[in-house]
């Protein structure tokens, strides 16, 4: 048998696959014809496919190439499936790297940014992505950031933006404050430095107003990966519990004052076991209680030491717990017992009420603390297996106040030594929690409380290259928004960044007059966190040139929500949570009618180097996309990236895979040409007229076509490609098998198979597909105007199939029977096949397993 590649290589009618020329050609055509322009008025259903827009820090890297190849395959396939597709791109263009580069090279941040953007766009064109470039914008364009300022003012007017002074995370390296979300594992998310706590006046967005809805709506996001939802739930951190008021005792330790200290607890059931109360070192009350006492010095030491610990570490179980006594006591509302007040590093100022009731028996942190400082550990809850249970199960008074346990009790158990509540089942959300909370409520010293871990979003940054906060401070009128007609507040371009000039030093920028009283006033010189810019860019794409509003209502409602959003898992909390918040605010401002911005989320895996290491400039192991595009072409690059692994998995970069992809694309090229030479694109396939080889090719076409389509639907491009590879193999076999009788090839079938191979690879290898579609098939429309091929389950069934014939369970023959044969027909055919062997025997029973076997039981 001849090898198909030799046949094709000898076939001089097949042009050679010149990726460079083909790709340049089609990129020009798509651009000129605006093939991928999204129409706002189409009759077709809409599909909004979006990749997280890039930060223009240089040329695109492999991670980008992967992200956009996935999105582009989805967008192009959606075109073929009959959708009107919106597939836009732009740049997340503000941010510190541009500013730092400008300082270093003594240039302007804008210049550096726009240069990088130009370079990235060029690479995007070379990759052949199907973007609607008419909608492109950069977040540093005044036409865009103007509307971010406008939104800020709308939020201010609604009380959703405010200014407050509180301890914040200051990154000494980036010289700016950070949001809570930007302190990752106790470090600055950008540079890895340990932030310091500073008490500063800063600007916030009230994301906490949306905490419950942000949590509840996660349940609607069926198209999101579970791990992303789990991370968001955890970050929002809803806790049901109670606030309990303890009364501060006078200096004597017993006489009640009229001052209360309120704690938040999820375990009101443990209140009989309170052996101390804890305040954090930052607490004003703590400072007051020890002021001028013998405890003050130790307290000040503790405070200084605690300031250096990140809030993540302070919540960690490895924290060495340190504390100081205040000399003062509170009175437990449930039994009147006094409990000493301590100040300790493991309690946080900004969670709950910033005060904790210490219950060593139930809480490990309190247990560790009590051990260290020799405080009471009273058992007030235990399981039936515990020896204490028999001893104390009916005990209402607190008789035992120390235990020799190694650690605090596991949560579940029965209350002991707990007054009238003794014997109730305790634990989180238990009957004891309910009963005690009710009692506290009736006695006016407690109430149920839902607490969130989520904090308001700190958005002010003390850096230049960002969107200016559109506020003016007047000594008489306070903080006043810039009037709408004066928007945008333009970021000045003339700062001497190289000399270290900041907005706060640029008088030309900050000197202004008060919009209310007209007196000299000062502009706010902070800029907004760049995450404000990325929280709504996907809405702007729906109406990017609007200069009256951020976007028109009908347009944003037409396109939103984004149907397929693709990006890195590192944005699980930051960007995705902020965007959900911003969308809900826009909805409440009556700007848009959706609750959630992203219906389906695909978090793509990382591209690592050949040794499994993350690619980075500093490691010198970056593989730039051009190193593949230059020798092989973009289609090979896209094919390789999508074939190596399923989109959500990490993969190690593989030179071999690129070579393999290139060999396949060339082979598929030749096979399609080969089929075309025997094809008739106008003929309709006559199923009854197909000979055996043709029927088999037709069957395989339908089988693989269904598989490939399903894989596209699931976003599993690697297996979708495998299906096309198998089809190419089948087509190749057909050509070889009919080499000497080409007149027997079915012309309609050849046309169909060629067309479907091209169609099914078109989302992944677009230039290759357009070229074949036009040059091989001679069509004049774009392959993206071609409908996605339809496949027929019924045609996947072979005409005949092999079954096994047994006598007394022993294999006696293999025969072909029609796939549609009934049990009776199977039996009859089998019996004929083994007639000689059955001769003289009596058949007592026949077992027929359809599509598989016939077994004769004889005597
Ligand atoms: C008494 C108690 C007994 C507690 C017990 C737990 C177990 P979650 O679930 O995360 O909401 N807590 C409250 N405010 C705190 C603060 N500002 N800093 C540090 N810890 C604080 O945690 C709620 C529990 O965390 C609260 O319930 C409180 O300890 C502690 F057997 O109160 B618990
Ligand atoms: Zn004023």
Decide if pLDDT at 7 tops 90: no
Q: Which residues of 301-320 are buried (b: 16+ CB within 10 A; e: fewer)?
A: ebbeebeebbbeebbeeebe
Ligand 1 geometric centre to CA of 183 (Å): 22
Q: Does ligand 1 lie within 6 Å of residue 356's CB atom?
A: yes
Ligand 1 geometric centre to CA of 818 (Å): 72
Helix (H) or strand (E) holding 72: helix 62-80
Determine which residue's CA is closest to atom 9 belonging to ligand 1: 239
Structure tokens at 500: 């270290």
Query: Which residues 6+ apart lie within 8 Å of 194 measured at CB?
Result: 186, 187, 188, 310
pLDDT at 411: 62
Ligand nearest to the CA of 518: 2
Structure tokens at 97: 């790297």
Global model pTM greater than 0.85: yes
Q: Does ligand 1 lie within 6 Å of residue 264's CB atom?
A: yes
Question: Do 614 and 650 form a contact (C-beta atoms < 8 A)?
Answer: no
pLDDT at 1: 36
Q: Which residues of 701-730 are buried (b: 16+ CB within 10 A; e: fewer)?
A: bbbbbbbbbebbeebbbbebbbbbbebbeb
Cα distance between residue 262 and residue 353, in whole Å = 7
Name the pLDDT band for 6 (thresholds 50, 70, 90): very low
Quote the longest CA-to-CA distance of the chain.
Answer: 119
State the Cα torsion 262-264-268-272 to the nearest 10°. Answer: -50
pLDDT tens sequence across 76-111: 999 999 999 999 999 999 998 888 888 888 888 999
pLDDT tens sequence across 620-645: 888 889 999 999 999 999 999 999 99
In DSSP terms, which residues pair with 91 in a beta bridge?
138
Cα distance between residue 815 and residue 413, in whole Å = 69
Decide if pLDDT at 4 tops 70: no
Per-residue DSSP letter, 775: I
Q: Does ligand 1 lie within 6 Å of residue 239's CB atom?
A: yes
What distances in angstroms separate CA 28 from CA 21, 123, 339, one per listed residue? 11, 14, 79
Ligand 1 geometric centre to CA of 265 (Å): 5
In the structure, how many helices (H) and strands (E) does the chain have?
Answer: 28, 33
Decide if pLDDT at 8 tops 70: no
Best residue among 323, 353, 356 to mutate for probing ligand 1's pocket (most ligand atoms within 8 Å of CB) is 356
pLDDT at 10: 58
Ligand 2 geometric centre to CA of 477 (Å): 4
Q: Comparing 112-116, 184-188, 299-303, 403-407, which segment has the lowest mean pLDDT?
A: 184-188
The mean pLDDT value for 430-446 works out to 97
Helix (H) or strand (E) holding 125: helix 109-127
Q: Does ligand 1 lie within 6 Å of residue 262's CB atom?
A: no
Cα distance between residue 128 and residue 65, in whole Å = 11
Ligand 2 geometric centre to CA of 487 (Å): 18
Q: Does ligand 1 lie within 6 Å of residue 272's CB atom?
A: no
Name the pLDDT band for 406 (thresholds 50, 70, 90): confident
Name the pLDDT band for 716 (thresholds 50, 70, 90): very high
Q: How deeply is 406 buried, as exposed, middle or buried, from its count of CB atoms within 10 A (0-12, 13-18, 19+)? A: exposed
Decide if pLDDT at 181 tops 80: no
Q: Does ligand 1 lie within 6 Å of residue 246's CB atom?
A: no
Name the pLDDT band for 3 (thresholds 50, 70, 90): very low
Name the pLDDT band for 5 (thresholds 50, 70, 90): very low
Report which of 59, 63, 66, 62 is spatially closest to residue 91, judged by C-alpha positions.
Answer: 59
Question: Do 577 and 77 form a contact (C-beta atoms < 8 A)?
Answer: no
Q: What does 289-339 look like in DSSP terms, one character per residue?
A: HHTTSTTHHHHHHHHHHHHTS-HHHHHSTT----EEEEEEEEE-TTT--EE
Question: Do 834 and 846 form a contact (C-beta atoms < 8 A)?
Answer: no
Ligand 1 geometric centre to CA of 293 (Å): 29
Decide if pLDDT at 182 tops 90: no
The mean pLDDT value for 742-768 works out to 97
Question: Do 527 and 463 form a contact (C-beta atoms < 8 A)?
Answer: yes
Q: Which of 621 and 12 is assigned the larger pLDDT?
A: 621
Q: Does ligand 1 lie within 6 Å of residue 266's CB atom?
A: yes
Q: Does ligand 1 lie within 6 Å of residue 286's CB atom?
A: no
Question: Do 236 and 224 form a contact (C-beta atoms < 8 A)?
Answer: no
Report which of 96, 122, 120, 118 is spatially closest to residue 109, judged by C-alpha positions.
Answer: 96
Cα distance between residue 838 and residue 807, in whole Å = 8
Structure tokens at 309: 């610990």
The mean pLDDT value for 381-396 works out to 90
Cα distance between residue 647 and residue 93, in whole Å = 26
Q: How deeply is 410 buried, as exposed, middle or buried, from its count of CB atoms within 10 A (0-12, 13-18, 19+)? A: exposed
Determine which residue's CA is closest to atom 8 belonging to ligand 1: 239
pLDDT tens sequence across 480-520: 999 999 999 999 988 888 888 889 999 999 999 999 999 99
Report which of 245, 240, 242 is spatially closest to residue 444, judged by C-alpha positions.
Answer: 245
Ligand 2 geometric centre to CA of 480 (Å): 8
Q: Does ligand 1 lie within 6 Å of residue 362's CB atom?
A: yes
pLDDT tens sequence across 661-712: 999 999 999 999 999 999 999 999 998 889 989 999 999 999 999 999 999 9
Percent of the chain with pLDDT over 90: 80
The mean pLDDT value for 240-250 works out to 97
Q: Does ligand 1 lie within 6 Å of residue 128's CB atom?
A: no
Q: Where are the alpha helices (DSSP H) in 715-790?
A: 717-737, 747-761, 766-771
Which SS3 state, helix, strand or coil, does residue 724 take?
A: helix
Ligand 1 atom closest to Cα of residue 349: 17
Determine which residue's CA is closest to atom 32 belonging to ligand 1: 265
pLDDT at 191: 87
The mean pLDDT value for 320-330 works out to 97
Q: Does ligand 1 lie within 6 Å of residue 651's CB atom?
A: no
Does residue 800 have a cis peptide bond before it, meaning omega lies within 30 degrees of 0? no
pLDDT tens sequence across 198-208: 888 999 999 99
The mean pLDDT value for 304-319 works out to 83
Decide if pLDDT at 154 tops 70: yes
């Amino acid at each position: 048998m001849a090898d198909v590649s030799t046949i094709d290589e000898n076939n001089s009618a097949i042009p050679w696959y010149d990726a460079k020329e083909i790709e340049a050609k089609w990129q020009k055509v798509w651009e000129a014809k605006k093939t991928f322009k999204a129409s706002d008025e189409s009759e077709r259903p809409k599909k909004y496919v979006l990749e997280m827009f890039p930060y223009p820090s240089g040329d695109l890297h492999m991670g980008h190439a992967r992200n956009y190849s996935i999105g582009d395959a989805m967008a192009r396939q959606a075109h073929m499936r009959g959708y009107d597709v919106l597939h836009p791109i732009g740049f997340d263009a503000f941010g510190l790297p541009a500013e730092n580069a400008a300082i270093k090279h003594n240039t302007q941040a804008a210049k550096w940014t726009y240069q990088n953007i130009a370079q990235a766009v060029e690479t995007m064109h070379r990759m052949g992505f199907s973007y609607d470039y008419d909608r492109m914008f950069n977040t540093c364009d005044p036409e865009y950031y103007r509307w971010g300022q406008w939104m800020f003012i709308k939020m201010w007017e609604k009380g959703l933006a405010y200014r407050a002074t509180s301890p914040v995370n200051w990154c000494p390296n980036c010289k700016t404050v950070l949001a809570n979300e930007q302190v990752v594992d106790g470090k600055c998310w950008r540079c890895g430095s340990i932030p310091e706590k500073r008490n500063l006046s800063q600007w916030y967005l009230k994301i906490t107003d949306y905490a419950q809805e942000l949590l509840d709506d996660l349940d609607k996001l069926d198209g999101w990966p579970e791990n992303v939802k789990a991370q968001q739930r955890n970050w929002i951190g809803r806790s049901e519990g109670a606030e309990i008021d303890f009364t501060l005792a006078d200096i004597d330790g017993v006489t009640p004052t009229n001052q209360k200290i309120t704690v938040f607890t999820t375990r009101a059931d443990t209140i009989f076991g309170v052996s101390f109360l804890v305040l954090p070192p930052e607490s004003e009350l703590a400072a007051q209680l020890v002021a001028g006492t013998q405890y003050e010095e130790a307290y000040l030491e503790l405070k200084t030491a605690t300031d250096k610990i990140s809030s993540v570490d302070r919540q960690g179980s490895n924290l060495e717990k340190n504390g100081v006594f205040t000399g003062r006591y509170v009175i437990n509302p449930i039994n009147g017992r006094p409990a000493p007040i301590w100040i300790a590093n493991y309690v946080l100022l900004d969670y709950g009420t910033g005060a904790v009731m210490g219950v060593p028996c139930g809480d490990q942190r309190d247990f560790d603390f009590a051990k260290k400082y020799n405080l009471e550990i009273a058992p007030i809850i235990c399981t039936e297996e515990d020896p204490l249970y028999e001893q104390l199960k009916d005990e209402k008074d607190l008789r035992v106040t120390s235990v020799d346990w190694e650690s605090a009790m596991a949560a579940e158990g029965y209350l002991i030594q707990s007054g009238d509540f003794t014997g109730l089942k305790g634990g989180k959300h238990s009957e004891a929690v309910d009963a005690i909370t009710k009692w506290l409520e009736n006695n006016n010293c407690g109430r149920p409380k839902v607490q969130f871990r989520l904090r308001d979003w700190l958005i002010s940054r003390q850096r230049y290259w960002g969107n200016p906060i559109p506020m003016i401070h007047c000594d008489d009128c306070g903080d006043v928004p810039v009037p709408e007609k004066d928007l945008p507040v333009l970021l000045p371009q003339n700062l001497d960044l190289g000399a270290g000039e900041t907005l706060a030093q640029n008088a030309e920028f900050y000197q202004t007059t008060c919009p209310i009283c007209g007196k000299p006033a000062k502009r706010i010189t902070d800029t907004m966190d760049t995450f404000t810019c990325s929280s709504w860019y996907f809405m702007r794409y729906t109406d990017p040139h609007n200069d009256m509003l951020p976007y028109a209502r009908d347009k944003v409602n037409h396109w939103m929500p984004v149907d397929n959003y693709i990006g890195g898992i590192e944005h699980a909390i930051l960007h995705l949570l902020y965007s959900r918040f911003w969308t809900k605010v826009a909805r409440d401002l009556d700007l848009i009618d959706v609750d959630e911005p992203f219906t389906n989320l695909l978090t793509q895996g990382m591209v690592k180097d050949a040794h499994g290491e993350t690619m980075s400039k500093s490691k010198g192991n970056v593989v730039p996309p051009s190193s593949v595009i230059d020798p092989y072409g973009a289609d090979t690059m896209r094919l390789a990236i999508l074939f190596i692994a399923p989109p959500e998995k990490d993969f190690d970069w593989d030179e071999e895979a690129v070579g393999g992809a290139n060999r396949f694309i060339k082979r598929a090229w030749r096979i399609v040409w080969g089929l075309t030479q025997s094809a008739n694109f106008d003929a309709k396939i006559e199923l009854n007229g197909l000979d055996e080889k043709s029927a088999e090719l037709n069957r395989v076409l339908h089988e693989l076509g269904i598989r490939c389509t399903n894989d596209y639907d699931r976003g599993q491009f690697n297996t979708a490609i495998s299906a096309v590879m198998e089809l190419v193999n089948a087509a190749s076999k057909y050509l070889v098998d009919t080499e000497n009788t080409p007149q027997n090839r079915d012309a309609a079938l050849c046309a169909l198979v060629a067309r479907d191979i091209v169609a099914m690879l078109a989302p992944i290898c677009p230039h290759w597909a357009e070229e074949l579609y036009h040059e091989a098939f001679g069509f004049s429309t774009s392959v993206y105007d071609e409908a996605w091929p339809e496949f027929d389950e019924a045609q996947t069934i072979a005409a005949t199939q092999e079954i096994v014939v047994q006598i007394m369970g022993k294999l006696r023959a293999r025969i072909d029977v029609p796939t549609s044969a009934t049990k009776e027909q199977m039996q009859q055919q089998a019996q004929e096949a083994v007639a000689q062997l059955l001769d003289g025997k009596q058949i007592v029973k026949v077992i027929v397993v359809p599509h598989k076997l016939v077994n004769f039981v004889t005597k």
